Amino acid sequence: MENKILLQKVIAKAQTWLDGNYNAETKAEVKRMLDAPDKTELIESFYKDLEFGTGGLRGIMGAGTNRMNIYTVGAATQGLSNYLKSQFPDLPQISVVIGHDCRNNSRLFSEISADIFSANGIKVYLFEDLRPTPEVSFAIRHFGCQSGIILTASHNPKEYNGYKAYWSDGAQMLAPHDVNVIKEVNKIKDVNEIKFRGNPALIEIIGEDVDKIYIDKLKTISLSPDAIKKHSDLKIVYTPIHGTGVKLVPQALRAFGFTNIINVPEQDVVSGDFPTVYSPNPEEPAALDMAIKRAIATDADLVMGTDPDSDRIGVAVKDDKNEWILLNGNQIAVIYIYYLIRRWKETGKIRGNEYIVKTIVTTEVIRDIALKNNIEYYDVYTGFKWIAKVMRENEDTKTYIGGGEESYGFLPETFVRDKDAVSSAALMAEVAAWAKNEGKSLYELLQDIYIEYGYGKEKGISIVRKGKSGAEEIQKIMSDFRSNPPKKIAGSKVKIVKDYQSLVQTNLLTGEKNPLDMPATSNVLQFFTEDGAKISIRPSGTEPKIKFYIEVRGNMNSRADYKQADQLAETKVKAVMKSLGI
């Protein structure tokens, strides 16, 4: 009965698209789904509205209320336009920046958005072609805009697209703007409320001039120019994985002083179909396979790849057997934080008010590096908007060194307010040159960091559950862990439980409860064991999956201890997984 009622509602909703002011192509697609004997696709496309969340939109492309298309994008842009006009009623000219990545329909969606903004009297700076997400953040600040958007689904599969919205500081929106924009978007109930007919006079095309200013600013974060000069011919294999880094990452590397950049021609082809990879996600080992093969063929020193919108970076290095291995996101962040703090100290930049930021699911090795060097650190929720919030709050009183998250995102500058794989790629190449100048490889540098600050091994597990039934299953998993937290994990007692939904920290050994000092609630659970393990669980905010983050700790006295420390940690990780039933 429940399924029959749902189907009736879906059919009625789809019929409004057949009867409404939608284009012929959209109506034909809706009719095809309505006429199909199997109504699964129809239900998935219409059973709910694609939610404009605190990060914007992200979903599968296609016709329907639960899909990315010109109408869902149009409603988002109209709602954002209405909100901007309400917030800046006395501003002579409200302005926004629009960028897009390589995905199918990204250019179309960006031009539709430009038309809608301009139809609402809002000035638009529209990038001429695909550009990295961090450059859009930079351009918002550069032009003094009130907002901006980029059409991207980051590292999601090719079926997806997305819409990320930013505020005037170049960061993704936080309270109250995020919630208020959502309200405005949700008010758009009729397609006829969307102003699709643009005003060309208010749309300005931007491109290489902004690129140059952005690259020139990136050069200012370099801390070891002498090491780069000495090792300018470092062999760097770089792949954009068909995405937006194709021009700007090589430009940034050359601006830093590197001359030997080796590309992967097949993956320099800009394509939303990502023809050479199953997933364009640098977190997936297969995404860098072609780059590593190129590195082997050219005897390269370093491999780097960026995701389609160039805000995440993947890195591969040679181990002690001269074999290529992938660094995980935690290891990448550890190297950055270690290098930045050390070089800031060595170059006399430390004044006593510096800080770094990490997310709560990112390795605790970063915390230990900060504390041992008397650098303040912040723990924030997953998502760079929270790192940007700390930056904004400390802008006039403290100095930002760097911030990152385990999901391969890092930001080593302040003139961008989102993770930046363009600057991060240039900085990682610099770290490699500096390490070489110190007589060590990046692999040996990482080992030395573990010797000094303790070994950490992390593993992320994502369980995919698609559709309505999947969302319900993910909700049940979280509910079960919340109502029945484990008393032991891998044989070690659970000491602390942090529930960020209730903002309560509970000591299971004493029963003591304390409030968690966070700016908002979030559907995240964390378990800390007596032997130093940390397990975090949260549903993804952008994909149909629930994520488990496992970290175990150990000690190393020398590089020779690395393999043993890693093996012990791997055994512990497997035991944790078994305890959690994953």
pLDDT of residue 471: 87
For the segment 407-438, what is each residue's pLDDT rounded down to a tens digit?
A: 999 999 999 999 999 999 999 999 999 999 99
Collapsing DSSP states into helix, strand and coil, what is residue 171? coil
As a whole number, mean pLDDT of residues 172-176 equals: 92
Distance of alpha carbon 260 from alpha carbon 467, whole angstroms: 46
CB atoms within 10 A of CB 244: 35
* Fold entry, domain 214-453: Alpha-D-Glucose-1,6-Bisphosphate; Chain A, domain 3 (3.40.120)
- Cα within 13 Å of Cα(71), Cβ side: 22
CA distance 41 to 38: 8
Cα 98 versus chain centre, distance = 18
Annotation: CATH topology of 68-206: Alpha-D-Glucose-1,6-Bisphosphate; Chain A, domain 3 (3.40.120)
Confidence of residue 575 (pLDDT cuts 50, 70, 90): very high
Span 52-80, average pLDDT: 94
In CATH, what is the architecture of 456-580?
2-Layer Sandwich (3.30)
User: Among candidates 330, 554, 312, 581, which has minimal Cα distance to 423?
Assistant: 312
Q: Is the pLDDT of residue 391 over 90?
A: yes
Residue of higher predicted confidence among 195 and 541: 195
Q: pTM above the 0.85 mark?
A: yes
Distances (CA, A) of 277 to 102, 232, 272, 284, 481: 14, 31, 11, 10, 35
Q: Which residues are catalytic?
A: 154
Residue 493: DSSP 8-state: E
Please compute the mean of the pLDDT values over residues 305-323 and round it to a whole number.
97
Specify the domain boundaries for CATH 3.40.120.10 within the chain: 68-206, 214-453
Evaluate if residue 54 carries a pLDDT over 80.
no
- So what's the pLDDT on residue 359? 97
Q: Per DSSP, what are the bridge partners of residue 123?
A: 95
Query: In the predicted model, is pLDDT for residue 542 greater than 90?
Result: no
Three-state secondary structure readout of 277-324: CCCCCCCCHHHHHHHHHHHHHHCCCEEEEECCCCCCEEEEEECCCCCE
Dump pLDDT digits (tens) for 218-235.
999 999 999 999 999 999
Report, as an integer, the average pLDDT of 316-320. Answer: 97
Percent residues over pLDDT 90 in the chain: 93
Average pLDDT over residues 141-154: 97
pLDDT in tens, 342-357: 999 999 999 999 999 9
- pLDDT over 80 at 1, yes or no: no
CATH 3.30.310 intervals, the chain: 456-580
Q: Looking at residues 75-102, what average pLDDT do you find?
A: 98
Confidence band of 2 (pLDDT split at 50, 70, 90): low
Inter-CA distances, 201 with 91, 114, 214, 280, 283, Å: 18, 11, 26, 37, 42
On average, the pLDDT of the chain sits at 96
